[in-house]
Amino acid sequence: MKVLVSVKRAVDYNVRIQVKPDGSGVVTEGVKHSMNPFDEIAMEEAVRLKEKGKLTEIIAITVGGAKSEETLRSALAFGADRAIHIKEEGEIQPLTAAKALAAAFKAEGAQLFIAGKQAIDDDANQTGQMIASLLDLPQATFASKVELDGNKAVVTREVDAGLETLEVDLPAIITADLRLNEPRYLKLPDIMKAKKKPIDVKSFASLGVTPGAGLKTTKTSAPPKRSKGIVVKTVDELVAALKAKGLV
């Protein structure tokens, strides 16, 4: 069974995001980037499933510019067998990425697509669902447990009311939530081996995808600074303070 795992290059989660002075976006130049944390979890799950004998080949895939190759090398170090780089510079919106990933999934004839539930740069939480819609395939989002049984996948997913278990036929799309697993620490020998693994470079044109910008960001601004708190000694003071702010 062949699986595609989407990995995105995003600003590292330890970086304090700064808004550009002109409000046109956030500062990305000279800022540390790494694999999107939810995609790390997706990759780790694919490797674990292969170690259990449930998968035969793991293909890491990304959509992005030349620097995204670093992310693919990290995925190969995790245990991916090969990688596909859909190379495109500039902003790539979720629907465009979904169309490219869906086309690659179809071309590879894979039975499973695993991705992080969202990327921490835009928090859109759209791409996995869009891929499922474009391919007319079942989906199981926000997965906290994945089990493969023949041509079916049993997925425990996190919902507002607790946990929900779904059984979906393969091929299917699964998006990984935070508690699915804890990604392994990459060892130097695995990082060195990853440098020799193949990366297949593709373009939107080769996949029959026309990039488009359906959304336009008009302004980016930092959240307002929190006002200084006050200390109240009694419940009456608390109620009075809440009333003064129009909260009760």
- Distance between CA 64 and CA 9 in Å, rounded? 8
pTM: 0.83
What are the φ and ψ backbone dihedral angles of 212, each rounded to 5 degrees?
A: -145, 160
Q: What is the pLDDT of residues 71-87, one digit of tens each?
A: 999 999 999 999 999 99
173 in the Ramachandran plot: left (φ > 0), alpha (ψ -120 to 50) or beta? beta
Confidence of residue 30 (pLDDT cuts 50, 70, 90): confident
Q: Residues 142-146: contacts with CB within 8 Å, 24+ apart?
A: 142/117, 142/175, 142/177, 143/45, 143/117, 143/174, 143/175, 143/176, 143/177, 143/180, 144/177, 144/179, 144/180, 145/180, 146/45, 146/49, 146/114, 146/174, 146/180
Q: Within 13 Å of residue 66, how many CA atoms lie on the same side as its CB?
A: 0
- Distance between CA 176 and CA 179 in Å, rounded? 8
Q: What is the pLDDT of residue 42?
A: 95
DSSP 39-106: HHHHHHHHHHHHHTTS-SEEEEEEEE-GGGHHHHHHHHHHT-SEEEEEE--S---HHHHHHHHHHHHH
Q: What is the pLDDT of residues 127-181, one digit of tens each?
A: 999 999 999 999 999 999 999 988 999 999 988 888 999 999 999 999 999 999 9
Confidence of residue 110 (pLDDT cuts 50, 70, 90): very high
Q: What is the pLDDT of residues 40-98, one digit of tens each?
A: 999 999 999 999 999 999 999 999 888 999 999 999 999 999 999 999 887 788 888 99
Q: What is the pLDDT of residue 94?
A: 87
Q: What is the pLDDT of residues 120-134, one digit of tens each?
A: 888 888 899 999 999
- Cβ-based neighbours of 215, under 8 Å, separated by 6 or more: 93
